[in-house]
Structure 1
Amino acid sequence: MSTTPKWYCRNKSQPMHTFAEIGNLGLELRRITKRIVIDVNSAIFSEHDTILEECEQVVELYWSLKDETKNADFQSLSKKIKRSPYNALLMRKFNLIMELNDRRFCQLTFVLKRTLSLLLRKSMQSEMWLNWALHITQLYNRCRNVNSIQGQTQTQSCLQPEQEAQPEGEEKEKEPKLSGKCKEEMHANVCSNMYPALLMSLKNIDFGFVLQYVAQTRVEQNALDLVFGLFNMGEQDAWREHQQQQQNNESTSSSLEILRTLNISFAAGDYQPYCESAQDYNALQMPSTSGAGAAAGVGADAKDEGQDHQSLRCKHTESFLQKERIFIAQLIAKATEICPTIFGKSSQPPPLYPYASYSSTDSRKAGEVDMNAYIVRGLRLLWSYVGIILDHILLWWIDTPMSCYNLTHIDSIRCWLYHQNVNDIPEPVFSTLRGIGEILTGFMCNNIWDQLFRLTLISSSNPRRLVQQVVEQYRDAPKNEHGTPTGTVWISVFSNLVNLSNQYFSNTDAHNNSSLLPVAEQIPMLHRLDHSVHSMRLWVTEQAKLLCCEWKMDRFFQILEHDVKLCLSVFNTFKLPKLTADLSDILMLVCVALRTKLITESTNNIDLLKKTTDECVQILSAVCRILSLANFTLCFPAASHWQRSVYNDEEKSLYVGYVLDEIFLPSIRATKDIVILKLILKLICEAWLDFIYQKRIRFSVNGALRLLNDFDDVREWILSCTLLDEQQLEKLSNHEVLRMCKGVGKILLRKPEDIISITQSPKFDKKSEDANAQDTQLPSEMFVSNQKHWLQLRANGGNGFPLLKLCCGDSI
């Protein structure tokens, strides 16, 4: 007796026919998918109606066979079938074919959605493309929930657009289960994990999806129309200011010229002024009745001149909004006729023209709200795309792009955009223009930094006049009248970066909300600012070494006292508020973290720049000592000169004035900082004493007196200098280092075996007492630290052989 069940061995049985149809279904799915892909790539669609009919038949066959496979004959088998290897093999083959058909059906839905996206991008070229795209949308939605669509009635009331997205539980209940598996499991099994988007739950195409692609096709034309109206408004404002003010500055005139040129580029003709009063529309809603529009026109006529000026400014933008309202209404009408499933559950979409005369029924009022909500949604999508592409059109795509003009002209337009008010330009165009202002701010930052940073590298070889002409183009930079040309460029770099960055935080109320601020746009500014501060700090250090070695104190103190101080003063107005991001917004969290890191690095570099002054003073100290020793090596008299017994008191030593003129006088001319001047005087005198001690020069009594007079000549030179004021003269002439030098001279007058007393002075001093300003309780010798070593430099009293005297002193 055969163990094969009756329904499996008889070819005329319904299950066997279903098994055969399932195998043919896989071929049909593959054929129709391939045909759609090939025809979509063609330029002309001659048989698109046939393709849609065939595809619809295949979809209906797929779902009907899925329903038949849920029969108990296919799901439960008798014990005899389980014992038959042949029948078990057939059932395994059946399951494999079912999984293959599920996979091919998902592939068909992906191809349909891809085809829909391609057609929507071309929908503005021909009405046939839009019609076919809506037909494919209807077919795609039937692919997802064909059973639910068949069960819907035509009398359901319309729902709100916000209720289009149904809960996941309801969607799962409406859509048929495949092989007893839920929707998400089916996708995970039939799709490759190399494309994560396929693992997500597929949803029906709604009106927002279609509107998103349609808006992308209209964005360029709307952007051009907006720019045309934008520069018309700008030309009106510039012309009005030109008529009111007879004496205009350069920026106003240049802005007027660029607005005229750009207007011609868009309009391809002369500008025609507006003479009629503009109508004030609501920002996004369509007017409910024609009477309301007439009343609005009467109200606009009753305004004063200032309000008329505001309505005149928003005439262009309101005309754009009204035109898009009409377009969206027409799109909804076409979608209602061809693809009613695009509006969600209800097969009856909202009323098409709510501004027409309706009866006061509750259903029609609800439909009017739906229509306005769809229009608001469409306008938001459209102007968001306009904001994305508008900066490219302004800067690069038009015949006379703004990027070809001077940066000052672009900056004037950017400032004009920031000065616009929401009362003048309604939403959502106002937000779009504000976004353009932020993008132009980033463009200005990049180009100003590139131009000025390159100028810092070559400014040392360019004349000061050329540098001033370039820097004067940027009005925000403070004046640097006494600084160097390169320092002037650095100040302009920091001033422009700080001012552009501060404009992002003009609204102090939104500082803590990072979602309302262009955090990503500020990151390049902070990055450039950090590198600029670091580069200037290196430049200041290298210039300090170079100028000190050449002893160009005028330029050295220009950098130190003017360039660095003005650069640091720019950062006093730097706004760096702390921002917090929502934990759910990963992109904003990354931007805020990167901004915080850049702020920390910039602050550290600014602190290092503040300490650069001390580093330069240390460099000055080291070079000043070496330079002083070099000058004393060249001009200090020989050792034999100091062992003579007779000197001409009327003649002064020339080397004292020479050293002071070479080292101290350039410093006095370059700076008025008394601390720096006292430091240089101290370094000169200490180098003088170090030179004497290192050479071991021995002094006779008259030689010591001669050296003591030379020390006094330093004080006389200071008092005779006309470049010093009274306060500087007092502090420099009474410097401790002069007391120490005088103490060395008095020590050299003593004998080596003498013990220096605190209250006694040598009897060989020509002057009976010190100057009144130098009177202290301690004698001058007490200011010398190594007194015993200086006592050893006293020469013998004239006895001995000449050879002994020659050996005691070194000739120079």
Structure 2
Amino acid sequence: MSVPGWLPPQDTAVQEYVHNCKKLNALAEALETTLAYLLYDDSVKWDCLAQVTEGLDSTCKLFVKVAGDHRAAIVSNFKCTHWKKLINNKRLSLTYFLNQTVTIGLGKFLESPEHLVHILKLIVFHDTILPLGSGAESKSVSIVRNTCPVMLLPMRKLSLTKILQIVAQLRAEECGQQLVYVLMNIKARREKAEEDYPTSENSSMEVYRALTENISPSHTSLSPGNGNGGRPAADPDSEEGILDSLIVMECARLRILFTTTVRVAPDYLGHHPVPDPVTGAIAKFKMSSKSKQKIVSYYQEVLWGMVGGYAEYSLIWKAIGFYGDTCNKWSSWLRKFVANVNLPQNLRPALQSLIDGLTVHVTTVTWDYSFRKALVAAGYQNGSYITDDVLNGTRTGMLFKDMFEELVALSNSCEGSNWTAVALEELPLTEQIPVLHRLDHSVHTCRLWAEGKARQLANMWNMDQFFRVTQTDVSWCLEALSKRHFSKNDDLLCPENSVHVMVCGKMRAKLVSEVQDNVIQLKQVPNESVEVLASVCRIYSLANLQLMFPEAKYWKQQFDEVPQYASNYVEDYLEVVLKPVIHAAAELESLVQQRVSCLVLDIMCEAWLDHIYKYKIKFSEWGALQLLADFGAVPTWLMERVKATPNLLCTEMLRRCEGVGRLLLSQRGHRVPMVDKTIRKYQGENNENSPQRMPPEMYVPNQTQWLELRASKVNLFSLCCPLNMVKPITQSE
């Protein structure tokens, strides 16, 4: 017996369904291949678009027939289920390719009626087969094959509004370029007209211009009954007329689309029967003027809403350049232009978007450029021998100051004069938040730079650059930051406001508080840097004394004569440690100058005494006199070399050093009087208990420890060897 004899008889409905599916699969495969071929953007291939649309009717009917066949035999048959899934996947692939083909075709052949007819047929075919797969078996995510992308969102019909959106998106770039070209011509014409005016302020033309600007109204009264959005017809050669011509030209491009749609797909225009004015018969597919105006208004709204972004790109990156100064001038000019010219309402969103884009670009580019220059200058400043001074500060500090001035100016421009008089939704919060972000980061970076540079320069003992950075540069930055002002935003945080206003208000309040905190920390840098200088000064002084101070045997020598001059190391010590500080601080304020000079003098004198006591250097009578002469040479050096102030000559540490020298000369058990009678009274001073009348020994906190450093006078060699036979030891030995 043959095998077919064992098989059940096939149902006629199943055979018919499978035959239709195979035929439809072949047609869809051929159509899909042709559409994919068209997407290579070759104008020659688009000539076969007429051949593609010839068989759309039969293919569409076959899609409807296969998708609408719900007979029981077909639903329960496995082979039919398989073919149904295969056809559904093919339908999804076709809708994807049709969508891409229509989008590209509308951009290429919007003004070509011959090609536009075929594109509209593709749109009708797309909208017919799109809903055929909607059912219980359809998935929310359409995955066809590995070569076809995943369509996460369900595709929608290509309605008239969708077609207008596609056309507007395709035309937005070219319209943006045209708008930029028109604006550049208007600006150039205005500048030329201003140059042609007489320059004399007393001329009659200047008086006429001033009266015209201040007396004439900036906006012309509009008649509400005018067909151009309530605006009167403008002169074609005027600025308003040139801008109106842009809108008229774009509206004229839709005329071919409307006429072709009436012939090919009239249902897309809606059912608006209009009676014929002669016969009175109703034309079924004739559009009313009201419907046409509504469609045109929608297209203009969508188109000019997207033009701003393309105009920004064309203006910045193709026309005027991306430099912050140029863009800032253009932004200011556009603001005045929008405020003083009677613009078409459709162009206002585009121009406002262009202004906002320029503002954001200026903020970003200005900060990036200034911040990069400051960081590069700070990096070069790390060299030991590289100095790039500007006035009393550095070039890096001047760059930080310029950056702060620009950021503060941008932030203040967003504040406005009176927030309470402006609607909360219209406040420039979104423009100010990026500026505050950059201002906060810049102040923080400037503070870190100043603190790090202070430690580096203090360790190098480069006092000139140290005070330039920590005092002058920081004061410049604080002066620029002092011009900032922030309005109170309590009204922004009310729960009655919108979510957008509340979120922006809270973000702004947080950034303002961070900026204020960083500014407070920056104000503390000058005082903190002086503390860093004090800690480094002690180590630097001890290190120099380790190299300069004479050996212990130098101070144990015995001579009959009293030393008349200071040792050689004293001048070297003062020249290395104190002189750079006094010379560098000469350009600072008097209070800062006195504080720093006295602080460094006290620290180096204290280090002088600590070095002596640390190494337990013993002093003979001559050595004590020599040390006293060394201490006494400090005020003389201050008066002769650096012209010190009286406050610097009367520091407590100088008196303490003198007291140590006298303690080394005093005998054991000697009582120090509370008032030194040998010191003459100052003019007008009657109080004997004045600090100036106290003996220097009273400034020494622990006198006993210094008495232990006196060398013994008698030794075994003094009985047999006279003192004048001992060779004196000099400091160089």
TM-score class, shorter = 0.7 to 0.9
Alignment of structure 1 residues 164-175 onto 2, 5 Å: none
Q: Which residue in 2 is equivalent to 1:522?
A: 434
What CA distance in whole angstroms lies between the structure 1 residues aligned with 2:424 and 2:470?
38
What CA distance in whole angstroms lies between the structure 2 residues aligned with 1:134 and 1:280?
43
What CA distance in whole angstroms lies between the structure 1 residues aligned with 2:120 and 2:384?
66
What CA distance in whole angstroms lies between the structure 1 residues aligned with 2:189 and 2:228?
32
Task: Give the conservation status (yes or no) of the 8 Å contact 2:660–2:706.
Answer: yes
Task: Give the conservation status (yes or no) of the 8 Å contact 1:699–1:793.
Answer: yes
Q: Which residue in 2 is equivalent to 1:288?
A: 227
Counterpart selection for 1:324 from 244, 250, 255: 250
Cα RMSD of the aligned pairs, angstroms, is 5.3
What CA distance in whole angstroms lies between the structure 1 residues aligned with 2:199 and 2:525?
49
| CA apart distance, 1:40 | 5.0
**SS of the residue 1:201 aligns to:** coil
Distance 1:485 1:792, change over 3 A: same
**Is 1:378 aligned to 2:299, yes or no?**
yes
Task: Give the conservation status (yes or no) of the 8 Å contact 2:664–2:709.
Answer: yes
What CA distance in whole angstroms lies between the structure 2 residues aligned with 1:640 and 1:369?
113
What CA distance in whole angstroms lies between the structure 2 residues aligned with 1:788 and 1:238?
87
Q: Which residue in 2 is equivalent to 1:561?
A: 471
| CA apart distance, 1:423 | 4.2
Letter of the structure 1 residue corresponding to residue 33 of structure 2? K
Task: Give the conservation status (yes or no) of the 8 Å contact 1:25–1:62.
Answer: yes
What CA distance in whole angstroms lies between the structure 2 residues aligned with 1:513 and 1:649?
85
Query: Which string of whole-angstrom CA distances, capped at 9 and with x for unpartnered residues, describes residues 192-227 of structure 1?
Result: 598885353332112332223323433343223222
What CA distance in whole angstroms lies between the structure 1 residues aligned with 2:505 and 2:84?
50
Distance 1:134 1:501, change over 3 A: farther
Q: Which residue in 2 is equivalent to 1:616?
A: 529
| CA apart distance, 1:666 | 3.0
Task: Give the conservation status (yes or no) of the 8 Å contact 1:138–1:341.
Answer: no
Q: Which residue in 1 is equivalent to 2:30?
A: 31
What CA distance in whole angstroms lies between the structure 1 residues aligned with 2:424 and 2:637?
62
**SS of the residue 1:428 aligns to:** helix
| CA apart distance, 1:119 | 0.9
Structure 1, 590-599 or 537-546: larger mean CA deviation = 590-599
What CA distance in whole angstroms lies between the structure 1 residues aligned with 2:404 and 2:619?
58
Query: Which string of whole-angstrom CA distances, capped at 9 and with x for unpartnered residues, describes residues 368-422 of structure 1?
Result: 5544443333223323433222333234445xx525xx75444433433344434
Alignment of structure 1 residues 454-533 onto 2, 5 Å: 454-458=376-380, 481-500=391-410, 503=413, 518=430, 522=434, 526=437, 530=441
Q: Which residue in 2 is equivalent to 1:149?
A: none
**SS of the residue 1:198 aligns to:** coil
- Taking structure 2 as the reference length, the TM-score comes to 0.74
Distance 1:459 1:334, change over 3 A: farther
**Is 1:186 aligned to 2:138, yes or no?**
yes
Letter of the structure 2 residue corresponding to residue 26 of structure 1? N
Distance 1:110 1:631, change over 3 A: closer
Unaligned stretches of 5+ in structure 1? 1-7, 76-87, 146-175, 249-277, 302-307, 469-479
**Is 1:402 aligned to 2:401, yes or no?**
no
Unaligned stretches of 5+ in structure 2? 1-7, 202-217
Q: Which residue in 1 is equivalent to 2:634?
A: 714
| CA apart distance, 1:778 | 6.8
Task: Give the conservation status (yes or no) of the 8 Å contact 1:669–1:723.
Answer: no
Query: Which string of whole-angstrom CA distances, capped at 9 and with x for unpartnered residues, describes residues 119-151 of structure 1?
Result: 123235744343332222222222346xxxxxx
Distance 1:786 1:312, change over 3 A: farther
Distance 1:612 1:521, change over 3 A: closer
Distance 1:370 1:562, change over 3 A: farther
| CA apart distance, 1:675 | 1.9
Structure 1, 667-676 or 125-134: larger mean CA deviation = 125-134
Letter of the structure 1 residue corresponding to residue 35 of structure 2? I
Task: Give the conservation status (yes or no) of the 8 Å contact 1:682–1:737.
Answer: yes
| CA apart distance, 1:232 | 2.1
Distance 1:666 1:317, change over 3 A: same
Q: Which residue in 2 is equivalent to 1:206?
A: 159
**Is 1:668 aligned to 2:589, yes or no?**
no
Distance 1:48 1:720, change over 3 A: closer
Q: Which residue in 1 is equivalent to 2:213?
A: none
Q: Which residue in 2 is equivalent to 1:58?
A: 59
Q: Which residue in 2 is equivalent to 1:221?
A: 174
**SS of the residue 1:698 aligns to:** coil
Distance 1:20 1:502, change over 3 A: same
Q: Which residue in 2 is equivalent to 1:735?
A: 651
| CA apart distance, 1:187 | 3.5
Task: Give the conservation status (yes or no) of the 8 Å contact 2:88–2:133.
Answer: no
Task: Give the conservation status (yes or no) of the 8 Å contact 2:111–2:256.
Answer: no
Letter of the structure 1 residue corresponding to residue 245 of structure 2? S
What CA distance in whole angstroms lies between the structure 1 residues aligned with 2:120 and 2:505?
43
Task: Give the conservation status (yes or no) of the 8 Å contact 1:336–1:349.
Answer: no
**Is 1:340 aligned to 2:266, yes or no?**
yes
What CA distance in whole angstroms lies between the structure 1 residues aligned with 2:187 and 2:384?
38
Structure 1, 481-490 or 643-652: larger mean CA deviation = 643-652
Query: Which string of whole-angstrom CA distances, capped at 9 and with x for unpartnered residues, describes residues 62-95 of structure 1?
Result: 223433x2346656xxxxxxxxxxxx7xx12122
Letter of the structure 1 residue corresponding to residue 608 of structure 2? W
Task: Give the conservation status (yes or no) of the 8 Å contact 1:707–1:745.
Answer: yes
Task: Give the conservation status (yes or no) of the 8 Å contact 1:121–1:216.
Answer: no
Q: Which residue in 2 is equivalent to 1:775?
A: 690
Counterpart selection for 1:747 from 663, 673, 683: 663
| CA apart distance, 1:792 | 0.4
| CA apart distance, 1:55 | 1.9
Counterpart selection for 2:313 from 392, 397, 405: 392
Alignment of structure 1 residues 646-665 onto 2, 5 Å: 646-648=560-562, 651=565, 656=570, 659-665=573-579
Distance 1:547 1:203, change over 3 A: closer
Letter of the structure 2 residue corresponding to residue 667 of structure 1? V
What CA distance in whole angstroms lies between the structure 1 residues aligned with 2:494 and 2:386?
47
Query: Which string of whole-angstrom CA distances, capped at 9 and with x for unpartnered residues, describes residues 445-477 of structure 1?
Result: 434444554455447899999x89xxxxxxxxx
Task: Give the conservation status (yes or no) of the 8 Å contact 1:387–1:435.
Answer: no
What CA distance in whole angstroms lies between the structure 2 residues aligned with 1:239 and 1:189?
60
| CA apart distance, 1:109 | 1.9
What CA distance in whole angstroms lies between the structure 1 residues aligned with 2:695 and 2:20?
123
Q: Which residue in 1 is equivalent to 2:600?
A: 680
Counterpart selection for 2:354 from 410, 417, 433: 433
What CA distance in whole angstroms lies between the structure 2 residues aligned with 1:282 and 1:139?
46
What CA distance in whole angstroms lies between the structure 2 residues aligned with 1:233 and 1:581?
44
Q: Which residue in 1 is equivalent to 2:616?
A: 696
What CA distance in whole angstroms lies between the structure 1 residues aligned with 2:193 and 2:699?
77
What CA distance in whole angstroms lies between the structure 2 residues aligned with 1:487 and 1:105?
67
Task: Give the conservation status (yes or no) of the 8 Å contact 2:478–2:523.
Answer: yes
Distance 1:518 1:723, change over 3 A: farther
Q: Which residue in 1 is equivalent to 2:209?
A: none
Task: Give the conservation status (yes or no) of the 8 Å contact 1:553–1:667.
Answer: yes
